[in-house]
Structure 1
Amino acid sequence: MSSSATTRTVRRRTLRVAAAALTAVAGLTLTACSGSDAGGSKAAGQAGSAVAAAGSDGAGSGAAVHGAEPQAGSGAKADNKAEATAGGAGKQAGSASAARGGKAGSGIQRCHTANLKAAFATGEDAAPDPNASGATTTSIVLTNKGGRACKIGGFAGVDLTSENGGQRWSLARSSAKHGSITLNPGDSTDFSINLAMAAGSDEGSYQPAHAVVTPPNETTALTLDWPWGPLVHQDGATHPGTFVNPIG
């Protein structure tokens, strides 16, 4: 064989080896890419399966709680029994609430003006001292004339009107604490009014003709004749000597 023929043969072998090497490298590269894709698909598939499994478990638990047909027996029966017990307790709680609501609905209401009678306490000890210098009192008695018990407490509104009806004095209220009391049919309670009597006073006087009394939380009033003498006129004073005290 000539030297040129030998050279051509070696060259062809070299090219075949190079081509084979390139093919092998390409195969490895494709295999690596394919492996990565497969792994990603597998991971995604597993994650999807896990989510599906979790959703299935959740649905299964919910179905069991809501009375689905038991598969294994004791566990499902226990769940159904617990559900029945909880349902019974809920019904009992609802019944108790309804009973309480009914009781509250039939409770004692406040005293309304239409069921009250008002009068000044005019007994010997109840009459204010006309010569007192701002330290005397009078009382107004409120009587339940209705046919059922009622509650009353707080401040009544008291307006004094003059003899000619042209001047109205809304009495201030004290800062005394108060509660509420229950009046059965025929029962009475009272509240006091501090008075600054005008007898012997150098200040201007005010002679009331009537006391207009509005029971607590009411808008309708009861009108009484004023049985006492004149008061020191202090309707614009910051701390007047004539003011109302609370019921209860």
Structure 2
Amino acid sequence: MRVHKLAFAAMAVAAGLSLTACQNGDAGNDGTGRNGPSSASSAASSGGGKNSAEKNSAGKSSGGRDTAAGTGSHENGKVSKCRSDELEITAKDNTIDGDPDGTVVVELKNRGNRTCAISGYAGVDLKTNSGSLSAKRTGEQPHQVVLKTGQSTAFGINYPVNKSGGSGVRITELLVTPPNETKTVTLRWPGAATLPVTDTPGSPVKVGPVGNAGQGG
């Protein structure tokens, strides 16, 4: 009897060990053990990482497009020119006592939502009671001016002051067309009311390039 009991006990222990081994193996396979959540978490992390990478990639690409579209300031790698509709144009008298000529300064302010560039001479015409009078360029070398939103530049208009004592030529309006643009802005003339009458051919009114608003002709 003792031999049979020992044999039975040995078989029971072996059966218990076999059952434990099977349970441990099944835990790893069905995802209910400690290794299960870790694997699932890794998969989720991997999937999340992929989604994040896709989002980041898409976000970066979208951000790049938005930046280009938002600034609108580059065409083929160059800063786009300033448009008339983007510029706030104002004029004021800037004549200094003692100067032989009068001076009007025209300011061009970038009120658009992008950086733009402006260079050259603006078209300047004076409306008078004797007809339209176009300003003559001074011949100075123009330089490109880059304007961020809110920044401004200016140019000067020089004209002879009427000291003849006569009525002269009365100026009614100032017409300004930004460089390389066709849209003209009409402003009130802020300078002296009249120009002297002259028989000299050509225009007595001179305009400097954008970026130069100094006195003198």
1:189 aligns with 2:153: yes
Aligned pair count? 137
CA distance in 1, matches of 2:127, 2:89: 17
Aligned ranges 1:21-36 → 2 under 5 Å = none
Q: Which has the larger radius of gyration?
A: 1
Change (3 A) 1:236 1:153: farther
Aligned ranges 1:1-248 → 2 under 5 Å = 105-122=76-93, 126-127=94-95, 129=97, 133=100, 135-162=101-128, 167-198=131-162, 200-201=163-164, 205-228=168-191, 229-233=193-197, 237-238=201-202, 240-248=203-211
CA contact (8 A) 1:171 1:235 kept: no
Change (3 A) 1:113 1:186: same
What is the TM-score when the length of structure 2 is the normalising length? Answer: 0.56
Q: CA deviation at 1:244?
A: 0.5
CA contact (8 A) 2:134 2:205 kept: no
Structure having the higher strand fraction is 2
Aligned partner letter, 1:109: S
Q: Secondary structure at the match of 2:106?
A: strand
CA distance in 2, matches of 1:235, 1:111: 38
CA distance in 2, matches of 1:235, 1:245: 24
Map Cα deviations across residues 49-108 of structure 1 (whole Å, 9 max, x no partner): xxxxxxxxxxxxxxxxxxxxxxxxxxxxxxxxxxxxxxxxxxxxxxxxxxxxxx752531
Q: CA deviation at 1:172?
A: 1.0
- Aligned position for 1:54: none
RMSD: 2.5
Aligned partner letter, 2:83: H
Q: Secondary structure at the match of 2:78?
A: coil
Q: CA deviation at 1:117?
A: 1.0
Aligned partner letter, 1:114: D
Q: CA deviation at 1:144?
A: 0.5
Q: Secondary structure at the match of 2:183?
A: coil
Aligned partner letter, 2:205: T
CA contact (8 A) 1:170 1:235 kept: no
CA contact (8 A) 1:128 1:138 kept: no
CA contact (8 A) 1:155 1:215 kept: yes
Q: CA deviation at 1:136?
A: 3.1
CA contact (8 A) 2:109 2:150 kept: yes
Change (3 A) 1:111 1:161: same
- Aligned position for 1:9: none
Change (3 A) 1:117 1:169: same
Q: Secondary structure at the match of 2:209?
A: coil
Unaligned runs of 5+ in 2: 1-73, 212-217
